Structure 1
Amino acid sequence: MSDTDPSNYVRTRSQDGRGDVRWPAAPEPLAVPVYDNHAHLEIEDGDEPLTLDVQLERAVDVGVIGVVQAGGDIESSRWSAWAAASHPRVLAAVAIHPNEAPAYEEAGRLDEAIAVIDELAAQPRVRAIGETGLDFFRTEKDGFAAQFRSFEAHIDLAKKHGLAMQIHDRDAHDAVLDTLDRVGAPDRTVFHCFSGDDAMARIAAERGYYLSFAGNVTFKNAQNLRDALAVTPLERILVETDAPFLTPIPHRGRPNAPYLVPVTVRFMAAELGVDLDAFCVQLAANTVAVYGSFEG
């Protein structure tokens, strides 16, 4: 991929051993529109790959009027910035994913990669640094130092550019919270695909962080996420797909996309016992509070 034409970049998710990879039917549209706060639309998936335009059209048809497209390395971050610059319904987050940071470090390119993120972050429709953070599940201990160095550099970039930050946190809850305390969190900090419990949710909300819930909040084995949702103030809740991953029940295992956000939103509203339309109003307001207007 050339530096000047990121639109050519694409990744393909493996279909091996996944069973049914057909796109689920569209859910009933939401009466009050919302946004998908985190997706990876550069990844092709399903029995029929969907273009970015088709993804956005399907989303709008069910009341999902904007998507925050997240990067995780140099190439996907450039694509995310291009998508946001090219489509009024897309805003971008750019970063080096914590699981990618050790490889960049080993190749002697981590500083170069962070410099690319710094450059992309100056673009007007790049509204977040993300996803960044710590992952002690997929990275071995010898890669932790690179993750910490990268995370702290990304925190600095979010502050430098006045952007929100989307955190990837897997099996690293205490270390993430401690790092934010030690370094100082950006004004708008989001735990993307929140994976903690109710105790962590209380701590995060008390510190002014946002918790973004994905389709896995619907999974039977995810009571910890439902407990966390229950104690999170409504003004700190966001919703996302993490597409093409984490497809909500009843479509778990099939491809995910922004047009399936209504499935998760309806589940969350029911869990919280709140009016669906009022909940959507709050979710939309929270998104704009974090990332700014999609029209700007």
Structure 2
Amino acid sequence: MAADGVEVGRPTRERAGVGEDGRVRDRKRPAVPDPLPVSVVDAHCHLDIADGEDGDWLGAAEAIRLASSVGVTRIVQVGCDLPGAVWAVEAAAQYPNLIAGVALHPNEAPKLKAAGELDSALAEIERLAASSDKVRVIGETGLDYFRTGADGQAAQHESFAAHIELAKRLGKTLMIHDRDAHDDILRILDREGVPDRLVMHCFSGDTEFARECVNRGAYLSFAGVVTFKNAQSLRDALAVTPIDRILVETDAPYLTPSPYRGKPNASYLIPHTVRRMADVLNISTAELCAALNTNADNAFGGSW
């Protein structure tokens, strides 16, 4: 534990070094890339989730140091459940270049609903969201239909609507997780009303969905997926997104950009994603970095 209570050694979750197929993967950390010419913000990160080989876990302090060394000078630390939300709030209090996001991930909602604990969990998220000015984000919330049946979807809808209301009431940025649920995301946003600041985390849609989101005032945050060979439709979506509506993120330790796909991700690897995005947009890396930095200030309620 650090002096102010934030654990900077082991985090709240387990390693992710074994794939869903049960195979143990090579999880050695990638080399540090060349620095960016202008600083940027990692718009979505999970510093509390461990990854890598045994003995090679990248603690928060070292992750932040490495990120700063390549020009990633600010990070949005996102909690996905109650322990993660508490960790995010405490980490943002300790590290000046972090702000926090707190929410119940959509996959948490069905479990909490079945246990009769969704309302109390949402109340705790509200308490945490109101506890500090450094909690700028309600998220990640939204919908995830990848492995969710009808009952689970109903619980996700309830939780998502509650988070939208909370973001509007507290004046926080709403950060959306959307997996296989584009139409319902838009439908519920339209029904509940879009908050003043809206971020589509790890944007995964096509050009039409990109335009629909931007028309509702959203910022589209692109992760390492945009560098993958099979992600041309995502690059097409990036190409039609206005420059003042683009963010970049890692979703670390997941979604590591090429050429390191499958290895542990961290904020210091964002330069790979930014440079690929600049190529897609046919602008210089410096021009894109400057836009990303300004956009982050606007998306998250000012500088920090």
Normalised-by-shorter TM-score class: over 0.9
Aligned to 2:127: 119
Do the aligned residues in 1 keep the contact of 2:12 with 2:83 (CA within 8 Å)? no
Q: How does 1:93-242 map to 2 (within 5 A)?
A: 93-122=101-130, 123-242=132-251
Aligned letter for 2:96?
Answer: P
Picking from 31, 40, 43, the partner of 2:37 is 31
How many angstroms does 1:20 deviate by?
1.4
**TM-score between the two structures when normalised by the length of structure 1:** 0.96
Query: Deviations 1:12-64 (Å, cap 9, x if unpaired)?
Result: 22322242101100110011000100011101111201110000000000000
Is residue 274 of structure 1 aligned with residue 283 of structure 2? yes
- Please state whether the residue corresponding to 2:111 is helix, strand or coil: helix
Identity of aligned residues (%): 53
What CA distance in whole angstroms lies between the structure 1 residues aligned with 2:126 and 2:241?
A: 32
Aligned to 1:46: 52
Query: Deviations 1:183-239 (Å, cap 9, x if unpaired)?
Result: 101111111000110010011112211100000011111111101101000000000
CA gap 1:89/1:18 in 2 versus in 1, 3 angstroms = farther
Query: Deviations 1:239-284 (Å, cap 9, x if unpaired)?
Result: 0000000000000000000000111000000111011111100000
Aligned to 1:92: 100
Q: How does 1:14-25 map to 2 (within 5 A)?
A: 14-16=16-18, 17-25=23-31
**TM-score between the two structures when normalised by the length of structure 2:** 0.93
Tell me how large the CA RMSD over aligned residues is.
Answer: 1.3
Aligned letter for 2:247?
Answer: L
Q: Which runs of 5+ in 1 are unaligned?
A: none
Do the aligned residues in 1 keep the contact of 2:36 with 2:271 (CA within 8 Å)? yes
Do the aligned residues in 1 keep the contact of 2:253 with 2:264 (CA within 8 Å)? yes
Q: Which runs of 5+ in 2 are unaligned?
A: none
Do the aligned residues in 2 keep the contact of 1:6 with 1:82 (CA within 8 Å)? yes
Do the aligned residues in 2 keep the contact of 1:9 with 1:76 (CA within 8 Å)? no
Aligned to 2:77: 69
What CA distance in whole angstroms lies between the structure 2 residues aligned with 1:217 and 1:259?
A: 17
What CA distance in whole angstroms lies between the structure 2 residues aligned with 1:134 and 1:38?
A: 17
